[in-house]
Amino acid sequence: MAAPAVPAETISKEEQIAKIHLFAGLRAEAIRLVAQVAVEEQHSQGTVIFKHGDVGEKLYVIVEGRVRITREVQGMGEEALAVVGPGEVFGEMALLDDSVRSADARVHERCRLLAIHRDAFEDLLFVHKDLAYEVLWNIVRMLTKRLRETNEKFAMLSFAAKF
C-alpha cells in the first residue's frame, strides 16, 4: 500500500525546491542555499501576480495550486498560454534579463508559492559559481523544452489553418 501523501506545508523549503525541474540534480548544499533566498507567498484565486509590461523581479515556484499564464490578444481577449501547477516554475525570464513581463500571471486555484527575488538570486550565483553553472544549464534545458513545445503548437496551428 502506498504511503499517504504528506501535506505540502509540512515539507521543508529544501525538499520543495529539490523537486523543481529548474533545480534538479543540485547538491544538497546548493538546494539549501537556494532555499535561503526563497520567500513563501500565498495567493487566493483570481489574484493577479503580475501583468504584461510589469518589471520582472521574481521567479516563482508553485508549491500548491495552479497559476494561469495569459496574454491579451487584441480583438480576441485573453489567450491562455499555459496553466502551471505544483513543481513548476514561472516568471523565470525575470532572472535572465531586465525586460518587462511578457505575459500576465493570475492565480487559477488558490496557491502557495516560493518567490525568489532576482537580486538575491544574482548575489547567490555570483558568490557560488558552481551553483550558477548548474542552475543556468537547467534554465537552458527548461527554455529549450518550452521552445520546442511552442514550435509544435505553431506547427499544429499552421496545419489546422490549411483546412
Looking at residue 163, its pLDDT comes to 65
Q: Name the DSSP letter for residue 65.
A: E
| Dist. CA 57–CA 97, nearest whole Å | 10
Cell of 107: 492565480
Domains and CATH numbers, the chain: 12-118+126-149 (2.60.120.10)
pTM: 0.78
pLDDT attached to residue 142: 81
Q: Which three cell numbers stand for residue 98?
A: 531586465
Q: How far apart are CA 101 and CA 121, in angstroms?
A: 18
Q: How does pLDDT run along the chain (163 residues), one tens digit per residue?
A: 544 454 555 678 898 888 887 888 888 999 999 999 999 999 999 999 999 999 999 999 999 999 999 998 888 878 888 899 998 889 988 777 878 999 999 999 999 999 999 999 999 999 999 888 888 888 888 888 888 988 887 787 776 767 6
Distance from C-alpha of 48 to C-alpha of 29, rounded to nearest angstrom: 33
Q: Report pLDDT for 3.
A: 46
Q: How far apart are CA 68 and CA 48, in angstroms?
A: 10
